[in-house]
Structure 1
Amino acid sequence: MSAKRFTPKRNHQHHTCNETFVIWGAKTRFRLENHKVEKGYAEVLIGEDEVAVAVSPSGTAHALVNVDPVRSTFFIGCQDSDMQNNSSTSDYKIWKDL
């Protein structure tokens, strides 16, 4: 069985649920909307040997981006309510640079 490199839908927000992630396996950029900082978002780089837990509250844009040229990012995403992945409950392409 071969593994495929998966690129998550990176740049979105949900209006009806909170989302929690466990992220590991590769250098991965996690971005979270935060209007209290100058850029309007906070961003961290998770190393290939690290495991991170990240939370995105309802209505907060977030993104996961694999920036590792070799390894694959693995993540588990959990929502606290049923989520319909459509344009009435989620917005996509929040940031133009991702």
Structure 2
Amino acid sequence: MIWFYGAVTCASLHVGEIRPGKLRGNHRHHDCNETFVIWGAATKFRLENNEVADNGYAEVTIGKDEVAVAASPSHKAHALINVDPIRSTFIIGCQDSVISYNASSSDFNVWKDL
């Protein structure tokens, strides 16, 4: 069994909507873990995983009628992509530290194919 750890506490919380064809994330935090609740539309969740030889990430699709909890540990890139042609994806994200997006503690645009 492989364990990926999400947020240990909830120091920062965000709620968001991802419209059809759009994405959120495609970044990596170096100093916090993050946990997501995802629902509302067909959505791909991508997580960096160097054990996957072909592309270095694992990816799952959450169905439009499903609710998923996904975790992204620190130092692992993540992205949420709405692949539904009509519905919006909704997310609640919890980080175990307060993120400063202007600091060098996050890397952006990790994957060029998104």
TM-score (norm 2): 0.78
Runs of 5+ consecutive residues of structure 2 not aligned to the other structure: 1-16
Aligned to 1:72: 88
Aligned to 1:32: 47
CA distance in structure 2 between the partners assigned to 1:13 and 1:5 by the alignment:
22
Q: Which runs of 4+ in 1 moved over 2 A?
A: 3-10
Q: Give the CA deviation at 1:87.
A: 4.5
Runs of 5+ consecutive residues of structure 1 not aligned to the other structure: none
Please, what is the CA RMSD of the aligned residues?
Answer: 1.9
Q: Does 1:84 align with 2:82?
A: no
Q: Percent identity?
A: 67
More strand, by proportion: 2
SS at structure 2 position matched to 1:11: strand
More moved, 87-96 vs 43-52: 87-96
TM-score (norm 1): 0.90
**Number of residues of Structure 1 aligned to a counterpart in Structure 2:** 96
